[in-house]
Structure 1
Amino acid sequence: MTCNCRVAKYQEANPGVYTIVTFPFLFAVMFGDWGHGICLLLATLVFIIREKKLSGQKLGDITEMTFGGRYVILMMALFSIYTGLVYNEFFSVPFELFGPSAYACRDLSCRDATTAGLIKVREAYPFGVDPVWHGSRSELPFLNSLKMKMSILLGVAQMDLGIILSYFNAKFFKNGVNIWFQFIPQLIFLNSLFGYLSLLIIVKWCTGSKADLYHVMIYMFLSPTDELGENQLFPGQKTTQLVLLLLALVSVPWMLIPKPFLLKKQHEERHQSESYALLQTTDDDSLQPEANHDSHGHEEFEFSEVFVHQLIHTIEFVLGAVSNTASYLRLWALSLAHSELSSVFYEKVLMLAWGFNNVIILIVGIIVFIFATVGVLLVMETLSAFLHALRLHWVEFQNKFYEGDGYKFYPFSFAFVR
């Protein structure tokens, strides 16, 4: 059976070095709950403590796969505890671990799960989400905005890392064409649009502006010369957007047109130099064989094929800049899904059973809560977040620099297959 796995090209940038950290972190962004993270950590420690005994036993397929990835899961659990502390969620329950909430009740209205009657009485909560947001009517809009913008920032940062790694690949292999006509225009295009969006997000967080970033980005394309009005976040924003839009438009033909012509020129120069060297080092008796070698030994340069390939690559990057950034919103979606499922199990199962003041109902509720938490949140949600984090690395991150067009190493051997 043949394997279609991509094999790394010799000495190209290795994505595994960065994935060691970014993979468990992106998993934890979707799985952020320090209670669930502790459960995952305890389960992983069992495998690590007993690894000598378990490594000599025959395990089931799923158990063996989990055992093989025990150290990756350990990192995932540690990062999940960290992001859970940032989200301030322990089985969906908030705690004042790092100090009291920055808000207090001004009147009775805040007792009805609203934030209308809250006033700020002290400094901001020192680490993570203030516990007062959990259970309020403003919780979902607040966390929606926070996690969605955080997903965009993380996605743009990781895609920029991928483009920067393509520069080091090109520099190592001494491919100046890829530096000038691939790395630079790609970096300009991505950051002119989504790097600028990331900057707007940070400015909005720092200034507390009420600007609508959707409106800013949409009308940056539709009506770039219109006045921004209340959506202006900094002086000179309109001029900045016009410059960035112009740079994004220029970078597309920059990626598309020059590279095929330069590759053709390089091929012709290389072909002429090789032919000249052969003629200088060949005697009269061997001119005819070398002439045959020239006509058949040199691969012909198909300009149309190279141009079409570059066109496909350019279109793929331009459209991918949009689709890949949108793909990172899965961090936001799965994080909210995990939080809401955890909240439903806690409120509609455990707390509902507690409200009956009946021991039997309480025991049944606890059992159902444990099985639901383990089966859905610690197994299904773990697998779901794992696969989504894997996709983000394999597609959105690695397609910026990782070619994977190498071949497997087979050591020399006198053995042969009949």
Structure 2
Amino acid sequence: MYVEEEGARNQSPASDSAEEKDPDPPTLVKAPAWTRPLQSVIDNFGVPAYGEINPLLFMIFTFPVMYGLMFGDFGEGPLILILGLFLWRIKKKGASLGDFFQPFVNGAELIVMLGIGITIFGLIFGDFFGFDSSMVFGFKPIFSPLEGEVTVGNVTVPRYMVFTLAFGVFHLLFGMALGAYNLIRRSEWKEAFFGPLCWAWFYAAGVFVIAQIALSGFKFSIALQNPLYLPLVFVPLLLSAWKEGGMHAMELFIQSISNTFSYLRIWALNLADFYVKFAIFLALGGPAITPFSLLGAALGNLLVMILEGLIVFVQALRLHWVEWFGKFYEGTGFPFTPYHEPTSWTVPLNG
């Protein structure tokens, strides 16, 4: 499977005095049919410009993974997967379900992808309709977002919170690497170095130094004891300020912090998913397993599937559009539309 971008340049005779610059050509994005709903998500942000990296190939993996990290449940996941397959079958038949449901039919393949992601991470988390897998099936989760703590100095934080921050760091660094590749591809070597590469250098060094300070029990003096720490952080920041200006460097610093903490929404939504289902289950039936409590659990999970499924989609979209795309993707292109010879002509008749 691959994604290919093509363009067609308008040919015009060169002027005798000066050579005119061709306008930016349109973009023809080639992708498998089952990825078109996800490509539509990208195109709603902006069509890839000619020669720009199309993030589709990476989002095939990152979007379902991010969705599953927020909404992992191997009870609800197969239901969403079955719903996606049902809608996909309707889509292949060309049937219509009305204006309200048609967007879900059009995005059937994406719903299938999300259902797979939810199921896989549900198995990893041991979450079955809000119940722990050890209670229902007798096997312990591989990794539970609700268990485990990391002690940093005198502060104890949830392990999954630290994991989501680390996930965000690697996701953002990957975006910066793609941004550098975009510029190098256009032979803009200087812009690549002083732009995304300096940003990635500053960001990675800053995360490393902050991690060392945290692991030492928040002894900030450790940054002064090692002669390499401060240069590692401030050299790329000064290089960026020298090339782009001090305000740009300050914006770089603030944006790096805010982008990283945005990934905490993964941890927050995963936590909310569990407690919302647990609260509804207790309110409608309590801890005792009775027909009424089972009905309450079913209704609660149905409500969560509808409401939280949409909320998680919006948040996963935001993390890609705002945090990740901001590192490498502009989306300033316009789609290639092939010329079609008209089959009929209208000829005005005089008299």
Which position in structure 1 is the counterpart of 2:237?
Answer: 252
Which position in structure 2 is the counterpart of 1:326?
Answer: 261
- 1:194: Cα distance to partner? 2.1
**Alignment partner of 1:128 is 2:147:** no
User: Separation in 2 of the partners of 1:94 and 1:349?
Assistant: 19
Q: Deviations over 1:322-360 (max 9, x none)?
A: 0000000000000000011122233442445746xxxxx
Which position in structure 2 is the counterpart of 1:70?
Answer: 108
Q: Is the 8 A contact 1:156 1:195 kept in 2?
A: no
**Alignment partner of 1:10 is 2:10:** no
Which position in structure 2 is the counterpart of 1:315?
Answer: 250
User: Separation in 1 of the partners of 2:277 and 2:267?
Assistant: 15
How much identity, in percent, do the aligned residues show?
A: 27
Structure 1 residues 63 and 414, CA gap change in structure 2 (3 angstroms): closer
Structure 1 residues 95 and 43, CA gap change in structure 2 (3 angstroms): same
User: Separation in 1 of the partners of 2:335 and 2:248?
Assistant: 26
User: Separation in 2 of the partners of 1:86 and 1:166?
Assistant: 32
Larger RCO (CA within 8 A; separation ≥ 6)? 1
| Deviation larger for 242-251 or 85-94 | 242-251
Structure 1 residues 414 and 84, CA gap change in structure 2 (3 angstroms): closer
- Normalised TM-score (structure 2): 0.73
- 1:4: Cα distance to partner? 9.4
Q: Is the 8 A contact 2:48 2:333 kept in 1?
A: yes
User: Separation in 1 of the partners of 2:216 and 2:284?
Assistant: 38
Q: Is the 8 A contact 1:85 1:128 kept in 2?
A: no
DSSP-derived class of the 1:61 partner: coil
User: Separation in 2 of the partners of 1:126 and 1:28?
Assistant: 15
- 1:127: Cα distance to partner? 2.9
Q: Is the 8 A contact 2:172 2:327 kept in 1?
A: yes
Q: Is the 8 A contact 2:277 2:297 kept in 1?
A: no
- 1:368: Cα distance to partner? 3.8
User: Separation in 1 of the partners of 2:53 and 2:174?
Assistant: 12
Which position in structure 2 is the counterpart of 1:231?
Answer: none
Structure 1 residues 45 and 406, CA gap change in structure 2 (3 angstroms): closer
- Normalised TM-score (structure 1): 0.62
Which position in structure 2 is the counterpart of 1:121?
Answer: none
- 1:317: Cα distance to partner? 2.4
**Alignment partner of 1:404 is 2:331:** yes
DSSP-derived class of the 1:50 partner: helix
Structure 1 residues 195 and 48, CA gap change in structure 2 (3 angstroms): farther
**Alignment partner of 1:146 is 2:159:** yes
- Of 14, 19, 22, the residue aligned with 2:59 is 19
Which position in structure 2 is the counterpart of 1:111?
Answer: none
Equivalences for 1:326-365 in 2 at 5 Å? 326-352=261-287, 354=289, 362-363=291-292, 365=293
DSSP-derived class of the 2:329 partner: coil
Equivalences for 1:9-408 in 2 at 5 Å? 9-53=49-93, 55-57=94-96, 59-96=97-134, 127-129=142-144, 139=147, 145-195=158-208, 213=215, 215-216=217-218, 219-220=219-220, 223-224=221-222, 239=226, 242-258=227-243, 313-352=248-287, 354=289, 362-363=291-292, 365-375=293-303, 377-408=304-335
User: Separation in 2 of the partners of 1:44 and 1:4?
Assistant: 21
The alignment covers a number of residue pairs equal to: 295
User: Separation in 2 of the partners of 1:367 and 1:411?
Assistant: 55
More helix by share: 1
CA RMSD of aligned residues (A): 3.3
- 1:379: Cα distance to partner? 0.6
DSSP-derived class of the 1:406 partner: coil
Instruction: In structure 2, list runs of 5 or more residues that go unmatched.
Output: 1-42, 151-155, 343-351
User: Separation in 1 of the partners of 2:47 and 2:330?
Assistant: 9
Q: Is the 8 A contact 1:8 1:404 kept in 2?
A: yes
Q: Deviations over 1:50-78 (max 9, x none)?
A: 3333x232x23331111111111111111
- 1:186: Cα distance to partner? 1.0
User: Separation in 2 of the partners of 1:414 and 1:354?
Assistant: 68
Instruction: In structure 1, list runs of 5 or more residues that go unmatched.
Output: 102-124, 201-210, 227-237, 259-306, 356-361
DSSP-derived class of the 2:231 partner: helix
Structure 1 residues 408 and 184, CA gap change in structure 2 (3 angstroms): same
Which position in structure 1 is the counterpart of 2:28?
Answer: none
Q: Deviations over 1:139-197 (max 9, x none)?
A: 58689612101101110111011011112111110001122212331111110122555
User: Separation in 1 of the partners of 2:301 and 2:247?
Assistant: 46
